A and B are shown apart, each in its own frame.
Chain A
Amino acid sequence: MRGFCKVLLAAALFVASTGLAQARDQVKIVGSSTVFPFSSFVAEELGATGKFKTPVVESTGSGGGHKLFGAGMGENTPDIANSSRRMKRSEFERAEQNGVTDISEALIGFDGIVIAQNKDDAPLKLTLEQLALATIAEVPKDGKLVPNPYTSWDQISPDLPKRPIVIYGPPTSSGTRDAFEELVIEKVAHKLGSYEKGYKKVRQDSAYVPAGENDNLIVQKLAKDKNAVGIFGYSFLEENQDTIQAATIDGVTPSLDTIAQGTYPISRSLYFYVKNAHYDKIPGLKEYVELFMSERMIGDKGALKRIGLVPLPADVREKARQKVLNRVKLTKDELQ
């Protein structure tokens, strides 16, 4: 029995010792799955070419990332949170309460959300309003809101094809879904009136199929099902030009140019957030941020463009760069 006690004691000591804080020499990044490929690309480049360890990049989703990021300061918390939307005021306040007061914000580029279909289909030309009417939960009728009655595109507008509405889109947990709700549904609902303020419900009947976090699955569905329409990030459209085509929205085809100029209506900004106090403690953090913000990454000819990041206009880019490199502190009033 004495030997057994010794083993137990050793095990307990071992577990306790692993809990002791040890100096971290590796940048830790969490957050959006949309920013994840860009962030890991920069991390890899830093690790491969410099003297620093490759930063660890975790894909937790924007919300999950802010939760971990704002949990506190110190080596057990991430240094950077990637985000496919701006930080929310509530997230900032929570971070502040936990001692994360000095945060700087980096705007890195745009991402377009595309509406795509099988390549062999007749071209689909939608307006933002038609798209919203096909996906919204309720539509106004005789001054009242009724559950969305549309089951075929030509019911929305006679010039649209006679095709059943089958939309594969992101599930509620996804940042792409948040952006779609805000940029399409909320905007159109506001314009149409007769909705309460901030209405952004997506229909839940069989016309809208939440297709999971993996956009490749939606692309595969579109390749097989000619009736279906899919909603996903721009980079997947670029990679799969041989099987799918994009619908035009308000007459604009999604492309690097139209998204960057803002003429394509469904585009969003991508960000990351840094804890300024961690610069002194974590080796490689400064270099990672500098490399990410450099022209050879996010510039017009930058490496991230190849994997789907839409570059910011040159002047906006320069301003965003100065802001994060000078560690300008983010304030609550900037956020909503």
Chain B
Amino acid sequence: MTLPTDPALHARRKAKERRFKTMSYAAILVAGVFLVFFFADILRQGLPALKQAEILVPIHFTQDILEYPESSLPPEYVPLVSRGVVRLFPNELHATPKLLGSTQERWVLATADVDQFLKGKPNRLKAKERRTAERLQSEGRLRLAWNIGFFTNGDSKLPEMAGVFAAAVGSVYVLLVTLAFSFPIGVMAAVYLEEFAPDNRLMQIIEVNINNLAAIPSILFGLLGLAIFIQFFGIPRSSSMVGGLTLGLMTLPVIIIATRAAIRAIPSAIREGAMALGATRWQVVWDHILPLALPGILTGTIIGLARAIGETAPLILVGMVAFIPQPAASFLEATSVLPAQIYTWASDSQRAFVERTAAGIVVLLVILLSMNALAIFLRTKYERKW
């Protein structure tokens, strides 16, 4: 048989293919440009937060500072030094009484306005304060130093003191609770549905509903969490326990769906082979199905958790969008989480919070990227081809 060779038709088909290819290429280019633009913008805004203004001040410890902590500094320095530093002087004097009467030179945090001034951003320094700042800078008493506080401090209303530590600890707690709640239940539910469930109308309804749940707007899980965990079980509001369980509800369908897909990908020859040797259903599942499905299950779980860690909407309802500067010590203590922290900063009126908001987003993105990288690693390392 010879193929019809009409050169005009051939050219048209080729042209069509080229057009299609170009369009696909343009699509990926557009997506890429958006992504690059977003990352570049966030980094441009967030990176300055890695540096923070510090000022070298002489601190004079006298009896007066117990009542007026500001009196420990020369008057011209007072408006430039962070309140977060000055307010701790009385405590320090109480703790080490032998400081009384001494003068110490120390690098301390400057106010957010000084910081923004040094970075050339809009600030509210008065003309006189700006002149003092310029003079101190030329004398080498004012510098931009690495902002370690951003990673070791909790939230603060003083932008120069604010950090992500407490929120990050809260996110870890919440994630642990979410994992402990949704992983066992999700995997067991999926195993039942795939390996044991009879194929009847009830099971079909359950299946459809699970798929539906995975697509429900997350705020509804917040309402559910509020009703069940806070009002019915009485778990304390704002705690990582209640936040974790709420996000657990949200993650559950994702894990069930991922696990079912992983189990379904295992060839039935494995099951039949094991059964032919006399293994029970339980042995088949425990010794063969689960180990083989594990990479797929873990990938799905990690992606579900990555979605949970970036979630804010349901957590507003269970009270986690709040000012909580100290890291929680237990699962029942009030805590904030990273996305909630970003949300709070984004709505603050003080301009110095803009760069911190962006830096918080960068931290969250880094965590998300590493979680997804872990998922890809697990998949490529342990996945088996049949």
Minimum distance in angstroms from A59 CB to a CB of chain B: 7
C-beta contact mask, A16-52 vs B, less than 8 Å → 1, else 0? 1011011000101000010011011101110111000
Closest to A212 in B: B347
B27 within 8 A of A: no
Query: What are the residues of chain B within 8 A of A15 when measuring CB–CB?
Result: 233, 235
C-beta contact mask, A296-332 vs B, less than 8 Å → 1, else 0? 0000000100011000000000000000000000000
Minimum distance in angstroms from A186 CB to a CB of chain B: 27
Query: What are the residues of chain A within 8 A of B235 when measuring CB–CB?
Result: 15, 18-19
Query: What are the residues of chain A within 8 A of B333 when measuring CB–CB?
Result: 26
B124 within 8 A of A: yes
- Contact segment of B8-16, B82-90, B268-276: B82-90
CB <8 Å contact, A58 and B321: yes
A236 within 8 A of B: yes
Residues 295-336 of B at the A interface (beta carbon under 8 Å)? 319, 321-326, 332-334
Query: What are the residues of chain A within 8 A of B351 when measuring CB–CB?
Result: 239-240
CB <8 Å contact, B325 and A44: yes
Closest to B90 in A: A49
A76 within 8 A of B: yes
Minimum distance in angstroms from B181 CB to a CB of chain A: 9
B234 within 8 A of A: yes
CB <8 Å contact, B332 and A214: no
A214 to B374, CA, bound (A): 35
Task: Tell which of B90, B157, B158, B347 has the most Cβ of chain A within 10 Å.
Answer: B157
Closest to B333 in A: A26
Closest to B162 in A: A44
B238 within 8 A of A: yes
Query: What are the residues of chain B within 8 A of A22 when measuring CB–CB?
Result: 332
C-beta contact mask, B21-62 vs A, less than 8 Å → 1, else 0? 000000000000000000000000000000000000000000
Residues 327-386 of B at the A interface (beta carbon under 8 Å)? 332-334, 344, 346-351
Query: What are the residues of chain B within 8 A of A240 when measuring CB–CB?
Result: 122, 351
Residues 52-97 of A at the B interface (beta carbon under 8 Å)? 53-54, 56-59, 76
Minimum distance in angstroms from A126 CB to a CB of chain B: 23
Partner of A43 from the list B88, B91, B323 (CB cut-off 8 Å) is B323
Query: What are the residues of chain A within 8 A of B325 when measuring CB–CB?
Result: 44, 47, 54
Query: What are the residues of chain B within 8 A of A57 when measuring CB–CB?
Result: 322-323
Partner of A49 from the list B87, B157, B346, B348 (CB cut-off 8 Å) is B87
Partner of A37 from the list B87, B124, B157, B236 (CB cut-off 8 Å) is B157
CB <8 Å contact, B349 and A56: no
Query: What are the residues of chain B within 8 A of A33 when measuring CB–CB?
Result: 347
Tell whether A76 pairs with B234 under 8 Å between CB atoms, given A44-B157, A54-B326, A236-B349: yes
Closest to A40 in B: B323
Range for the number of chain A residues in contact with chain B: 35 or more
Query: What are the residues of chain B within 8 A of A19 when measuring CB–CB?
Result: 233-235
Tell whether A44 pairs with B334 under 8 Å between CB atoms, given A49-B91, A57-B322, A59-B322: no
Tell whether A56 pairs with B323 under 8 Å between CB atoms, given A215-B349, A307-B349: yes
A48 to B154, CA, bound (A): 11
CB <8 Å contact, B122 and A213: no
Minimum distance in angstroms from B324 CB to a CB of chain A: 5
A242 within 8 A of B: yes
B147 within 8 A of A: no
CB <8 Å contact, B84 and A56: no
A58 to B343, CA, bound (A): 13
Query: What are the residues of chain B within 8 A of A40 when measuring CB–CB?
Result: 157, 323
Minimum distance in angstroms from A82 CB to a CB of chain B: 11
CB <8 Å contact, A239 and B157: no
Closest to A232 in B: B349
Minimum distance in angstroms from A110 CB to a CB of chain B: 16
Partner of B321 from the list A37, A43, A59, A241 (CB cut-off 8 Å) is A59
Query: What are the residues of chain A within 8 A of B348 when measuring CB–CB?
Result: 37, 216
Query: What are the residues of chain B within 8 A of A215 when measuring CB–CB?
Result: 347, 349
A233 within 8 A of B: yes
C-beta contact mask, B213-251 vs A, less than 8 Å → 1, else 0? 000000000000000000001111110010000000000
CB <8 Å contact, B157 and A307: yes
A236 to B346, CA, bound (A): 13
B156 within 8 A of A: yes
A321 to B334, CA, bound (A): 30
Minimum distance in angstroms from B154 CB to a CB of chain A: 8
CB <8 Å contact, B90 and A41: no
Minimum distance in angstroms from B71 CB to a CB of chain A: 14
CB <8 Å contact, A48 and B157: no
Query: What are the residues of chain B within 8 A of A47 when measuring CB–CB?
Result: 325-326
Residues 166-221 of A at the B interface (beta carbon under 8 Å)? 213-216
A215 to B233, CA, bound (A): 36
CB <8 Å contact, B323 and A233: no
Tell whether A48 pairs with B84 under 8 Å between CB atoms, given A54-B324, A214-B347: yes
CB <8 Å contact, A26 and B334: yes
CB <8 Å contact, B233 and A233: no
A33 to B323, CA, bound (A): 11
Minimum distance in angstroms from A301 CB to a CB of chain B: 11
CB <8 Å contact, B349 and A235: yes
Partner of A216 from the list B88, B324, B346 (CB cut-off 8 Å) is B346
Task: Tell which of A37, A43, A241 has the most Cβ of chain B within 10 Å.
Answer: A37
CB <8 Å contact, A53 and B326: yes
A59 to B347, CA, bound (A): 11
Partner of B322 from the list A56, A213, A242 (CB cut-off 8 Å) is A56
A56 to B157, CA, bound (A): 13
Extra contacts, 16 of them, besides A19-B233, A44-B325, A239-B124 (Cβ < 8 A), are A18-B236, A18-B241, A22-B332, A36-B323, A43-B323, A44-B156, A48-B87, A49-B87, A56-B322, A56-B323, A59-B344, A213-B347, A235-B349, A238-B349, A239-B350, A303-B83
Using a CB–CB distance below 8 Å, which chain A residues touch chain B?
15-16, 18-19, 21-22, 26, 28, 33, 36-37, 39-41, 43-45, 47-49, 53-54, 56-59, 76, 213-216, 233, 235-236, 238-242, 303, 307-308
17 examples of A-B residue contacts, CB within 8 angstroms: A18-B233, A18-B241, A26-B334, A28-B237, A28-B334, A41-B157, A43-B323, A48-B84, A49-B90, A56-B238, A58-B321, A58-B323, A59-B322, A216-B348, A216-B349, A239-B350, A308-B349
Which are the 7 A-B pairs with shortest beta-carbon distances? A40-B323, A19-B234, A58-B322, A57-B323, A41-B157, A235-B349, A242-B122
